[in-house]
Structure 1
Amino acid sequence: MVAAAVLSCLCLGSGVAVAGDGWGQPKPGSDGAGDSYYPQDGNGGYDVADYNLKVGYDPASHQLTGNQNIAARATQSLSSFNLDLHGLTVDSVRVDRRAAAFSRSGDHELVITPSRSLRRGQNFTVEIAYHGVPAPISDPSLGNNGWQYTKAGGAFVAGEPKSATTWYPVNDTPLDKATFHLAFTVPDVWGVIANGRERGTFKGNGGTTHVWAEETPIAPYMTTVAVDKWTFDRRTRADGTPIVSAFAPGVPDSAKQAEARLPEILDFLESKFGKYPIDAAGGIFLNEEIGFSLETMSRPIYSAGWAGTIPVIVHENAHQWYGDSVAVQHWRDVCLNECFASYAEWLWDEAKEGVDLNTEYADAVKKAPTKFWNGKLYGMGPGNEFSYVYSKGPLMLHALRNYIGQHAFDFVLKTWPTLRRDGNASMQDFQRYTEFVAHRSLKGFFDAWVYGAGRPADQYLFPGGLKP
Structure 2
Amino acid sequence: MPRSAPLLPTPLVPTALLLAGALALTACDGGVHGTPGGSGLRDPYFPKMGNGGYDVTHYALDLAYDPDANRLSGTATLTARATQDLTAFDLDLDGLDVEKVTVGGRAARWNRAGQELTVRPHDDLEEDRVFRVTVAYSGTPKTITDPDGSKEGWLETEDGAVALGEPTGSMAWFPGNHHPSDKASYDLTITVPKGLQAVSNGELTASRTSGGRTTTTWHTAEPMAGYLATLAIGDYDVHSSTTADGLPVYTAVDPAEAAASRKVLAQIPAVMKWAQDTFGPYPFSSTGAIVDRAGDAEYALETQNRPFFPGAPDTETLVHELAHQWYGDSVTPKTWRDMWLNEGFATYAEWLWDEDHGGDSAQKTFDALYDHGEDDYDDLWDFPPGKPSSAAHLSDSPVYQRGAMVLHKIRQRLGDTAFRALLRDWPTTHRHGNADTEDFTSYVEDLAPDEDFGPVWEQWLYGDGKPAQP
TM score, norm. by length of structure 1: 0.90
CA contact (8 A) 2:102 2:135 kept: yes
Cα distance in structure 2, aligned partners of 1:365 and 1:269: 26
Aligned partner of 2:448 in structure 1 is: 438
Could you tell me which of 290, 302, 306 is aligned with 1:299?
306
Could you tell me which of 345, 352, 364 is aligned with 1:359?
364
Cα distance in structure 2, aligned partners of 1:163 and 1:454: 32
Cα distance in structure 2, aligned partners of 1:147 and 1:295: 16
CA contact (8 A) 1:92 1:128 kept: yes
Deviation at 1:206, TM superposition (A): 4.2
Q: Is 1:408 matched up with 2:430?
A: no
Q: Is 1:340 matched up with 2:345?
A: yes
Aligned partner of 2:20 in structure 1 is: none
Q: Check 1:115–1:163 CA distance in 2 against 1; reply closer, same or farther (3 A cut).
A: same
CA contact (8 A) 1:295 1:320 kept: yes
| 1:442-465 CA-partner distances (Å, limit 9, x unpaired) | 122111100111222323xxxxxx
Cα distance in structure 1, aligned partners of 2:87 and 2:210: 40
Q: Unaligned regions of 5+ residues in structure 1, if any?
A: 1-18, 460-468
Q: Is 1:55 matched up with 2:63?
A: yes
Cα distance in structure 2, aligned partners of 1:395 and 1:42: 31
Could you tell me which of 379, 388, 397 is aligned with 2:407?
397
Cα distance in structure 1, aligned partners of 2:41 and 2:211: 39
Q: Check 1:166–1:371 CA distance in 2 against 1; reply closer, same or farther (3 A cut).
A: closer
Q: Unaligned regions of 5+ residues in structure 2, if any?
A: 1-27
Q: Check 1:368–1:153 CA distance in 2 against 1; reply closer, same or farther (3 A cut).
A: closer
* Runs of 4+ that moved beyond 6 A: none
- Residue correspondence of structure 1 range 157-236 to structure 2 within 5 A: 157-204=163-210, 206-236=212-242
| 1:394-419 CA-partner distances (Å, limit 9, x unpaired) | 22222221122111211111100000
Q: Is 1:386 matched up with 2:395?
A: yes
- Residue correspondence of structure 1 range 244-323 to structure 2 within 5 A: 244-289=250-295, 290-304=297-311, 307-323=312-328
Cα distance in structure 2, aligned partners of 1:426 and 1:308: 30
Aligned partner of 2:153 in structure 1 is: 146
Aligned partner of 1:116 in structure 2 is: 123
CA contact (8 A) 2:178 2:227 kept: yes
Equivalent position SS for 1:366: helix
Deviation at 1:240, TM superposition (A): 2.7
Deviation at 1:237, TM superposition (A): 2.2
CA contact (8 A) 1:191 1:228 kept: yes
Equivalent position SS for 2:125: coil
Percent identity reads: 37
Q: Check 1:288–1:360 CA distance in 2 against 1; reply closer, same or farther (3 A cut).
A: closer
Further displaced range: 365-374 or 114-123:
365-374
Cα distance in structure 1, aligned partners of 2:220 and 2:169: 17
TM score, norm. by length of structure 2: 0.89
Amino acid at match of 1:432: S
Could you tell me which of 425, 428, 448 is aligned with 1:418?
428
Cα distance in structure 1, aligned partners of 2:131 and 2:347: 41
Could you tell me which of 435, 440, 462 is aligned with 1:451?
462
CA contact (8 A) 1:144 1:159 kept: no
Could you tell me which of 110, 132, 151 is aligned with 2:139?
132
Cα distance in structure 2, aligned partners of 1:270 and 1:437: 22
